[in-house]
Amino acid sequence: MRFLNREAPQESGEVLLAAALVSHQLGRGHVCLDLEIALADPDTTLSLPPEGETGEDLPDKPSQVLQGLTLKAWETLLTDSVLVSRDTHQRPLVLNSHRLYLYRSWQHTCFVAGTIKELMARRFPVPADLSWRLSWAFSSLRSPKEASGKEIHWQSLAAGVAARNAFTVISGGPGTGKTTTVVQVLAHLQSLALEKASSLKIRLAAPTGKAAARLTESMGSALDQLSDDIKPHMPREVTTIHRLLGSLPDSRHFVHHGRNRLHVDLLVVDEASMVDLEMMAAMLDALPAHARLILLGDKDQLASVEAGAVLGDLCRDADPPRYDKAFMELAKEYTRYSLKRFQGKPGPMQEHIVVLQKSHRFGEKSGIGALARAVNAGDVPKAIGLFQGDLEDRTDWCCQIPKARC
């Protein structure tokens, strides 16, 4: 704020306050300041200061900082400011639809959104016998009801979606089979390539070393179940995203970028909920134009440490799932499963996101399953009631509860 005051000493206090609050929100993991929400409920939205303590120059509550300020007046001051842009002009702040961004955050947001839209527009041909291939691949993993078509096998649906799209998100809670699903997807796509006398270069990555090691372990056991002719062509090494891109010492930059892209045909990123906006932008910048991208992760699990919950934003309208008639017909053709009971107004990502619904770790009637659903739905009374109840499987709940909303 002091820097902006030096650069534009004529600016009003309301503009400088907005700049300070944007920076504050960035430190709390938000890429922008929503002016409308901040004015409607400043104490909850801003939580000033982060440490919960006030100094001599700070009021007790954010509502006192914004007292008397209207949205229209604030937006007018920002629009007229030399520090604020509404378009692509490079200024410290960018205002867009009641949201105020620091320029770099705005740049990353636009790039990630634009690149994902380009990926979503690309389609791949699928074999005529795709439904048979998927049925065979998941034959040992489906329950009798799923095998008969009475229940939907969501892993088959995810595999069908990934076979067609350049961009796919496979989400789901603990034990829903994300790793098993992606192994079958990779095996299927590699098999198609081998049938054409070629081979896909597949890379696996995760945000942290721990996540990479965990995926390496789970991938190993899943890969062992594949046929001997496909095993040699499957990836077994999982690296961190930083190592994949090639971190440059003492820099925010990487070896691989838009002018030196990764040598990969298919990139799978696990624990994608922990990938922040800037890292997602760097990864998409380095992705070759012809490559596929599959994001794996639990949309309700830990968000990124840095600003920008990309996976959570992508999956915002994904659960409960809603599909239009065209997609339901496509899903029926690819998997033989009917999605009629999920018919409704779809979100913009309906053809690219599958949230795995069935947990193989705990059943629908288990305590941890009920608690997870209550937490995700924001049902506080029900969550408290479950904690106070006498349920047999309450052991180790703390390591299973969706942490993003606890």
> Which residues lie below 8 Å from residue 298, measured CB to CB, with a gap of 6+?
171, 172, 173, 174, 178, 273, 402
> Which residues lie below 8 Å from residue 319, measured CB to CB, with a gap of 6+?
171, 299, 355
The CA distance from 286 to 145, in Å, is: 43
* Phi, psi at 265, each rounded to 5°: -100, -25
- Judged against a pLDDT cut of 80, whether residue 59 lies above it is answered with no
Domain that holds residue 54: 2-103
Of residues 358 and 377, the one with the higher pLDDT is 358
How much is the pLDDT for 226? 82
Q: Binning pLDDT at 50, 70 and 90, where does residue 405 land?
A: very low
How much is the pLDDT for 406? 39
How much is the pLDDT for 4? 66
Same domain, 330 and 384: no
Same domain, 183 and 139: yes
The CA distance from 179 to 184, in Å, is: 9
How much is the pLDDT for 404? 41
Q: Binning pLDDT at 50, 70 and 90, where does residue 367 land?
A: low
- Judged against a pLDDT cut of 50, whether residue 288 lies above it is answered with yes
DSSP H helices in 122-208: 130-137, 144-148, 154-164, 178-195
Tell me, what CATH number does 295's domain have?
3.40.50.300
Of residues 304 and 332, the one with the higher pLDDT is 332
Same domain, 277 and 388: no
Same domain, 202 and 82: no
Domain boundary (317, 334, 356) is at 356
How much is the pLDDT for 58? 53
Same domain, 147 and 285: yes
Same domain, 44 and 172: no
| Average predicted confidence (pLDDT) for the chain | 82
Strand pairing category for 99-102 and 93-96:
antiparallel
Same domain, 40 and 153: no
- The C-alpha angle 168, 174, 179, rounded to 5 degrees, equals 45
- Judged against a pLDDT cut of 70, whether residue 23 lies above it is answered with yes
- Judged against a pLDDT cut of 80, whether residue 231 lies above it is answered with yes
- Note the pLDDT tens digit of each residue in 211-220: 888 888 888 8
